Structure 1
Amino acid sequence: MNENQEKPNPQVLPSKPRFQRLKSIRQWYVRWRIYFVVVMHILGALSSIQAIMSTRTPQGATAWAISLNTCPYLAVPAYWVFGRSQFDGYDHLRHSKIAADSKTAQNAIRELSEKGMLFTPMTELERSQQRLLESIAEMPTTRYNDADLLINGEATFAAIFDRIASAEDYILIEFYIMRSDELGNKLKDALIAKAKEGVRVYVLYDGLGSKDLPNKYLQSLNDAGVKTAGFKTTKGWGNFTRVNFRNHRKIVLVDGKEAFVGGHNVGDEYVGKHPTLTPWRDTHVAIRGPVVLEAQVTFVEDWRYATGETLQLTWVPERAPKGDVRALCLPTGPADPFETGTLLLLDLINTARDRIWIASPYFVPDTQFVSALQLAALRGVDVRVLFPENNDDWLVDLTSYSYLDELGKVGVKFYRYEPGFMHQKVLLIDEGLSAIGTANFDNRSMRLNFEVTILLHDTDVASKVQAMLEADLKKSRQVAAKEFTQSSAPFRFLVKTARLLAPVQ
């Protein structure tokens, strides 16, 4: 070899084994990338078949089928989290197929008829509407009830704590959100005190809504003899991705004689202590009479799903001390065979003759509700929608602008409640029908959440609801369609884009 010729540097050239390892890694990467692509497209195809077969709306099925086959890498995990619309494994104690577990509840409903506590409609129109509502609720319309309107948190929780203090047999507590703050600790102390007196206490909370509730809080309740349970929507084999469902109900029930239902959760913000959204505007209703047993059925069903236990409670229907309010408790949710929340609202809108006043923090109606509200306005019904000026959900706030022109041009009036945050869920229909509950006017409450609504048919109750909403309207500003139509093009684009996401809001 020529002495002037440079020798190769062994440290620069890769060794043969190292080169082979790099080559093997590349081959492994390419091979598994191919496997991943093939598997994801197979899962996308299979998932799209399920979406077509099970998604409740054609639009939703079409959107999922296209996305699952064109971009399965993102769509498959999204579908298994957000795409499921049916909640399996939840037993309705109202169904005859499990009559052995619900015998006491069914006997109580049968006893309502024997004691003359059921409402008998006088006209064919009343009979038709009542038949539909009772089919949704799977419970009858009762009479001899009375109801107190509870406006805002201080009045609501004062009434709840007073009733808890007088409990003699049992207390049922169910909330979507429970916090370990001042209000939450006050409730905990009140329940512990009653448990020490021998009163049975059951506390049910949503596993996702109350995810920040510390174990220490629950342990202190358990140590005092209070039974607690989380409503976990992922319960059951193969349901680990079922996180898009919620138990959004808020029920307090004492001794089978009085119940409280409405928009309040357990948190300091609900009594006016939110750092930015105070004053907090919300509404609850206290009910007495045979309708309380229907609310009790709702709690018992939820408790049975969460724990497998059927509670032994009082099922003796009693007339309210005063009043003859016609009332019906309507539990709705994704475990129902139909979209019961949707059917309920559509029926109320379609049968309204004079007025429909809607108060909801999240007003995100889908196409069928938009059409129903347009038809109502065109036939001369006074349609008003009240929602907050300051919303805690910016996406919902953006979406609400998209309805101003579409509904405003047929006469629907929009109002933005200005002080603080309005969280109430209230409907006022015609002269004597009002609905107070937990359901918002959005896709989530109609299709994904377990909700409960108390329907009250009484002119005195309706007049109080009217006075309450009129006071709210005086604190609101009417919104014109030009706030959307004359806004900037980028803002209108954002609004329309936000509306595309309405099904998951």
Structure 2
Amino acid sequence: MATLLLALHVLIVIGFTLRILLRDDLSPQARLAWFIILAVLPYVGSFIYFLFGEIDLGNRANRRHKEVFDQIRSKASHLMGAPEETERLIDPLYLTAFRYAGSINGFHPVAGSRADLMTDAAATNAQLIADIDAAQSHVHVLYYIWLDDRTGTDVAQALMRAARRGVTCRAMADGLGSRGLIKSPLWQEMEDAGVRLAVALPMDKPLRTMLTSRIDLRNHRKITVIDGRITYCGSRNSADPEFLVKARYAPWVDIMLRFEGAIVAQNELLFLSDWMQATGDNLDRFTLASYPIEGGFAAQVMGDGPTERRGATPQLFSALIGCARKDLMLSTPYFVPDATVLEALCSAAHRGVAVTLIFPKVNDSWFVAAASRSYYRRLLSAGCEIHEFKGGLLHAKTLTVDGKVALVGSSNLDLRSFDLNYENNILLQDEDVTRAVRERQQHYVAGSDPVTLDQVSAWPRHRRIWNNVIATIGPVL
């Protein structure tokens, strides 16, 4: 029996090792992490690799994604912007980043947008409900987490009111992040009121999902579009800041911008790409239009996900960081960068850019917190500033560059956002909006504790070892 188990052990390790070595899409760090797991836990590790080792929604999903974007490019290319317009609209210092963003899924900068930074969660909710109540044509919403709490119920009731007065309402929620709502009476009430519903990456057949794909490939987007004239973009789910499912980390501190103008059509197309994937609808069923604002700024949508090319998000962040000349400020709740982003941040600081990084002091993910802190010494030594926010879980995902360019949306700086999640962001060039976002970032800094190199150097050895161990297997987390 012992000989048989040993032979089985060897066969399992060799088999999965060959599979990992045959994959061209893995980084050397990810390969090493998997080798360590397979060597230490051959049976359990093999099962984990079977469930989570490969990023693929399956041939059917990949084929449908291509069909959807082929439709969008052929029938709505006039709304996606033109590559040749980028040079006219964007400052030459930042052209490379905007061009790169346009290469991801074909959305290029368009002129004629404006934006307002929402004051807080209460103001966001009040304005959103007012906008839905004023809708005349259609409302489209998509949330990763949609709870049946006060905020989530307010949004659902506003959609039901709109649907009853003849507004076409389409609502999507992620099958895992919003599983409670999808099974609740409120979801059924919405359907009964005439709201058209869809589930992104449904969980109704979990065994089939585990056998054919990965159960943790999720739609992390947060998109709201009203009448093709208003859209919201930022980090906020449809949930109270008290976030009762993880109340001990509350409040969730989010950022949201309300956009009008040409950028709305691009965000609507991104929503429709998910809707068409989930429902099988074709683009011909939708009326699409753009409403640019005279004198508005240039902006573009960036959507990423497991059916797009690998590495797009970290490469975009790296391009933006590389454009910085004076200062760069970044906030994210989950910081587990790949080598591309880490080196870009250190390089920016070394060449004299004032790099400020803002993370939560207490994170709802213990392994992300440990992995994040494994990078502190490297970043601080390069000259970056690190601040840990104390007033709740800082969930805002923001990047500002030189007071001129801003990126807001759903993407974190971790491997889930880089590889596993569908994400949505808006990249814009405008000094007024960037100034507003930067002032919000400064507000986060004011509510944070600075982290110094001396403090990190004084951490106990066991803590440093633990952080580095978690970071070592970070590529498979």
TM-score strictly above 0.5: yes
**Paired-residue identity, %:** 28
Are the aligned partners of 1:233 and 1:245 in contact in 2 as well (CA < 8 Å)?
A: no
Are the aligned partners of 1:432 and 1:457 in contact in 2 as well (CA < 8 Å)?
A: yes
Q: 2-side partners of 1:182 and 1:128: how far apart? A: 43
Q: 1-side partners of 2:241 and 2:209: how far apart? A: 36
CA drift at 1:342 = 1.4
Unpaired runs of at least 5, structure 1: 1-29
Do structure 1's residue 222 and structure 2's residue 222 form an aligned pair? no
Do structure 1's residue 382 and structure 2's residue 363 form an aligned pair? no
Structure 2 residue aligned with 1:5: none
Do structure 1's residue 190 and structure 2's residue 197 form an aligned pair? no
Alignment CA distance shift 1:41-1:296 (3 Å): farther
Deviations 1:246-289 (A, max 9, x none): 11100011111111111111122368997433443210111111
455-464 vs 311-320, greater mean Cα deviation: 311-320
Give the AA of the match of 1:409: S
Do structure 1's residue 313 and structure 2's residue 290 form an aligned pair? no
Deviations 1:96-116 (A, max 9, x none): 89645664323544xx669x9
Q: 1-side partners of 2:324 and 2:212: how far apart? A: 42
Q: 1-side partners of 2:341 and 2:298: how far apart? A: 26
Root mean square deviation, CA, Å: 3.0
Are the aligned partners of 2:151 and 2:238 in contact in 1 as well (CA < 8 Å)?
A: yes
CA drift at 1:170 = 1.2
CA drift at 1:127 = 4.7
Give the AA of the match of 1:406: R
Unpaired runs of at least 5, structure 2: none
Q: TM-score, normalised by structure 1?
A: 0.85
Alignment CA distance shift 1:155-1:52 (3 Å): farther
356-365 vs 80-89, greater mean Cα deviation: 80-89
Structure 2 matches for 1:46-195, cutoff 5 A?
Answer: 46-54=15-23, 55-65=25-35, 67-68=37-38, 71-88=41-58, 89-90=60-61, 99-100=70-71, 103-109=74-80, 120-121=88-89, 127-195=95-163
Are the aligned partners of 1:152 and 1:280 in contact in 2 as well (CA < 8 Å)?
A: no
User: Is the radius of gyration larger for structure 1 or structure 2?
Assistant: 1
Give the AA of the match of 1:471: H
Structure 1 residue aligned with 2:304: 332
Structure 2 residue aligned with 1:462: 434
Alignment CA distance shift 1:164-1:107 (3 Å): same
Structure 2 residue aligned with 1:372: 344
SS of structure 2 residue aligned to 1:192: helix
Q: TM-score, normalised by structure 2?
A: 0.89
Are the aligned partners of 1:290 and 1:318 in contact in 2 as well (CA < 8 Å)?
A: yes
CA drift at 1:314 = 2.6
Are the aligned partners of 1:342 and 1:447 in contact in 2 as well (CA < 8 Å)?
A: no
CA drift at 1:497 = 2.0
Do structure 1's residue 257 and structure 2's residue 225 form an aligned pair? no
Q: 2-side partners of 1:46 and 1:273: how far apart? A: 40
CA drift at 1:46 = 4.3
Structure 1 residue aligned with 2:465: 493
Structure 2 residue aligned with 1:450: 422
SS of structure 2 residue aligned to 1:285: strand
Alignment CA distance shift 1:153-1:67 (3 Å): same
Q: 2-side partners of 1:414 and 1:219: how far apart? A: 46
Alignment CA distance shift 1:101-1:332 (3 Å): closer
SS of structure 2 residue aligned to 1:246: coil
Are the aligned partners of 2:33 and 2:473 in contact in 1 as well (CA < 8 Å)?
A: no
CA drift at 1:182 = 1.9
Structure 2 residue aligned with 1:3: none
SS of structure 1 residue aligned to 2:419: helix
Q: 1-side partners of 2:265 and 2:211: how far apart? A: 31
